[in-house]
A and B are shown apart, each in its own frame.
Chain A
């Protein structure tokens, strides 16, 4: 239960070798924004034949659908490739994050969030037209929920609207902090349906739409400048009366309770964090051990000071806890059990806080060097902070846990 399978371990070794050879040398360039991360993602997909696997699994999906065998609930989340095996996706998240959490974020936002949302609730035609190209990395996806006035209060505060006009919808509004937005081809966007002006805007039904970069009225900002996660371009999406047909409504039916849909993706967003955290924490710990054995003050390695040892021990403790939480999560998915919102929130809260602490302490152990870009932990520390904000802030996780505890 607390170990990856032999196949997963082998995949991990392969991926680690690839990251060391292909990703690590590019991190500085990616971080400076000199080139977006997408070509490298494609290279990775080709190397491990992910695209080929996704295509094969889509073919099976279509064949089953043609025979009328597809039970929709079974096909949910059937996204092919490693996404079908949560252990494999965890390994991808861990290994990428050891070297570049930003690269991992951009990858996860496209395949996991945008691709995942379409795979979870799209019709077969929608999956084929929009999810398949995202999962094979021909196209890049972005997932747009957050707005300038709706982050933690995403549903209530949402102002983006979709007005019905005959058989089409006209979308109007603005999204912000959207990963991949500046370069994405496909956008999964949440909007409120306006029934009549009498309904309270807070409680209007929310629906999900698939938009394309070329849709008239859709525009994006340049990449925003930010504290960390520099390898993942973040931007705004502007919707100025974007007119789309019904085929762009995810699931093609309005009756879907979309808040549930989005909640499920939130859930995914939360659970997807643990592997990233583990990757960052393991790297920080390894680098800190190495550094503290090599660096000497007063003629002895700094590792011989108990104050430094305490930091290393706490890092290790967090590493153990995150790893256990991750394996529990994987075990539950494997056995068809679903985490409660409080469980998922507690896991996300712990992992994010522990990771920030570990990364901060890694910088501390390395002193002035830790503060320098040349040392990897400088970047990991800035990147780690995002984990306490994205996918629901720490405070929102706490509120969620308390709500369930207090009934």
Chain B
């Protein structure tokens, strides 16, 4: 199976957001891989290996994982980390996040899918910066491919031509069968020890929870793996935005609370001022 995985870099969600005028100030920001995309990389690796065949030394690869990111040159760092985890090669499309919207990203991915012809476009369910949660759905629509979003589990069908994707919905777990090629976006439970069954790795195999750590060997090997650089224009993507961000403002600072002297006063305030009683 050949999988195209998306990997966006986002500002470290743990960091405090700084503002400059009507926009976010990105100077000094610590960039990290979008968590859901990291999970997608892990899922892609689990789908394309036999983790029970490698003995003490680890898994045997069986398939290809191509990681793609749209962003500045520095995104190479996040791509390199994915290659160190085990992905086979990477594509870096030069682009500025400020000049993109979900729709343009989806169009770009469609072009790339046409070139790469993967069996699966695997993505995080959303990017932690803007939390748009649109690109996977849009790309599937443009490609006329089946889609399964928020995947909590993935099981390869016996003939290898479809995936059974488990989704946690309000009423329980829903299993959707998508025939390949397809678009799947992953949710956080996809990195549970037994969330992925690919028909090759023994079904009782339990992975350590979470995306894998790159081994030293993986880090050294990543140095030699190719990162192909290209540009939106080279892919024939016209820059047109459907969504424009006009301003970003910080939420208003919270006002100080009021201290009350007695329960009676509290009840009175809740009744008369807050009007919740």
CB pair B80 A10 closer than 8 Å: yes
B112 contacts A by Cβ under 8 Å: no
Interface residues of A in 172-196 (CB under 8 A from B): none
Segment with Cβ contacts to A, from B62-70, B190-198, B217-225, B241-249: B217-225
CB pair A50 B216 closer than 8 Å: yes
CB pair B216 A81 closer than 8 Å: yes
Given contacts A10-B219, A51-B56, A52-B58, contact A17 B213 (CB under 8 A): yes
Size of the chain B interface, CB-CB below 8 angstroms = 19
B232 contacts A by Cβ under 8 Å: no
Residue of B57, B208, B210, B219 near A11 (CB, 8 A) is B219
Residue numbers in B under 8 Å from A52 (CB-CB): 56-58, 215, 217
Q: Which of chain A's residues has its CB closest to B77's CB? A: A6
A342 contacts B by Cβ under 8 Å: no
Residue numbers in B under 8 Å from A50 (CB-CB): 215-216
Bound-complex Cα distance A10 to B215 (A): 10
Q: Which of chain A's residues has its CB closest to B57's CB? A: A52
B81 contacts A by Cβ under 8 Å: yes
Residue numbers in A under 8 Å from B80 (CB-CB): 6, 10
Interface residues of A in 41-72 (CB under 8 A from B): 47-53
Bound-complex Cα distance A53 to B217 (A): 7
A350 contacts B by Cβ under 8 Å: no
CB pair B81 A49 closer than 8 Å: no
B214 contacts A by Cβ under 8 Å: yes
Bound-complex Cα distance A347 to B210 (A): 40
Residue among B56, B213, B220 with max Cβ neighbours from chain A (10 Å): B213
A306 to chain B, nearest CB (A): 26
B84 contacts A by Cβ under 8 Å: yes
A303 to chain B, nearest CB (A): 17
Residue numbers in B under 8 Å from A6 (CB-CB): 77, 80
Interface residues of A in 3-53 (CB under 8 A from B): 6-7, 10-11, 13-14, 17-18, 21, 47-53
CB pair B84 A49 closer than 8 Å: no
Residue numbers in A under 8 Å from B219 (CB-CB): 7, 10-11, 14
A316 contacts B by Cβ under 8 Å: no
A244 to chain B, nearest CB (A): 31
Given contacts A49-B58, A51-B56, contact A10 B213 (CB under 8 A): no
CB pair A49 B77 closer than 8 Å: no
Bound-complex Cα distance A161 to B214 (A): 47
Residue numbers in A under 8 Å from B215 (CB-CB): 47-50, 52-53
CB pair B213 A47 closer than 8 Å: yes
Interface of A is mostly: helix
Interface residues of B in 27-74 (CB under 8 A from A): 56-58
B14 to chain A, nearest CB (A): 12
Bound-complex Cα distance A11 to B84 (A): 10
Residue among A10, A13, A17, A51 with max Cβ neighbours from chain B (10 Å): A10
Bound-complex Cα distance A53 to B219 (A): 12
Residue of A7, A48, A51 near B213 (CB, 8 A) is A48
Q: Which of chain A's residues has its CB closest to B54's CB? A: A52
B192 to chain A, nearest CB (A): 16
A331 contacts B by Cβ under 8 Å: no
CB pair B217 A49 closer than 8 Å: yes
B86 to chain A, nearest CB (A): 11
Q: Which of chain B's residues has its CB closest to A82's CB? A: B216
A36 to chain B, nearest CB (A): 22
Q: Which of chain B's residues has its CB closest to A85's CB? A: B216
Residue numbers in B under 8 Å from A94 (CB-CB): none
Bound-complex Cα distance A47 to B210 (A): 13
Given contacts A6-B77, A6-B80, contact A11 B56 (CB under 8 A): no
Q: Which of chain B's residues has its CB closest to A44's CB? A: B213
CB pair A7 B217 closer than 8 Å: no
Interface residues of B in 65-96 (CB under 8 A from A): 77, 80-81, 84
B78 to chain A, nearest CB (A): 10
A210 contacts B by Cβ under 8 Å: no
CB pair B77 A18 closer than 8 Å: no
B205 to chain A, nearest CB (A): 15
B7 to chain A, nearest CB (A): 15
Bound-complex Cα distance A53 to B58 (A): 12
CB pair A11 B216 closer than 8 Å: yes
Q: Which of chain B's residues has its CB closest to A18's CB? A: B213
CB pair B216 A48 closer than 8 Å: yes
Q: Which of chain B's residues has its CB closest to A15's CB? A: B213
A88 contacts B by Cβ under 8 Å: yes
Bound-complex Cα distance A21 to B213 (A): 11
Residue numbers in A under 8 Å from B217 (CB-CB): 49, 52-53
Bound-complex Cα distance A11 to B220 (A): 10
Q: Which of chain B's residues has its CB closest to A56's CB? A: B217
Convert B112-146 into 0s and 1s, putting 1 for each residue whose CB lies closer than 8 angstroms to a CB of A.
00000000000000000000000000000000000
Residue numbers in A under 8 Å from B57 (CB-CB): 49, 52
Which residues of B are in contact with A by a Cβ distance under 8 Å?
Answer: 56-58, 77, 80-81, 84, 208, 210, 213-220, 222-223
Other A-B contacts than A7-B219, A50-B216, A53-B216, 19 sampled, CB-CB below 8 A, are A7-B220, A7-B222, A7-B223, A10-B80, A10-B214, A10-B219, A14-B219, A47-B215, A48-B215, A48-B216, A49-B57, A50-B215, A52-B56, A52-B57, A52-B58, A52-B215, A52-B217, A81-B216, A88-B216
Which residues of A are in contact with B by a Cβ distance under 8 Å?
Answer: 6-7, 10-11, 13-14, 17-18, 21, 47-53, 81-82, 88
By Cβ-Cβ distance, the 10 closest A-B pairs, closest first, are A49-B215, A14-B213, A52-B57, A48-B215, A7-B219, A10-B219, A49-B217, A14-B214, A47-B213, A48-B216
A-B contact pairs, 17 of them (CB 8 A): A6-B77, A6-B80, A7-B223, A10-B80, A10-B214, A11-B214, A14-B213, A14-B214, A14-B219, A21-B210, A48-B215, A48-B216, A49-B217, A50-B216, A52-B57, A53-B215, A53-B217
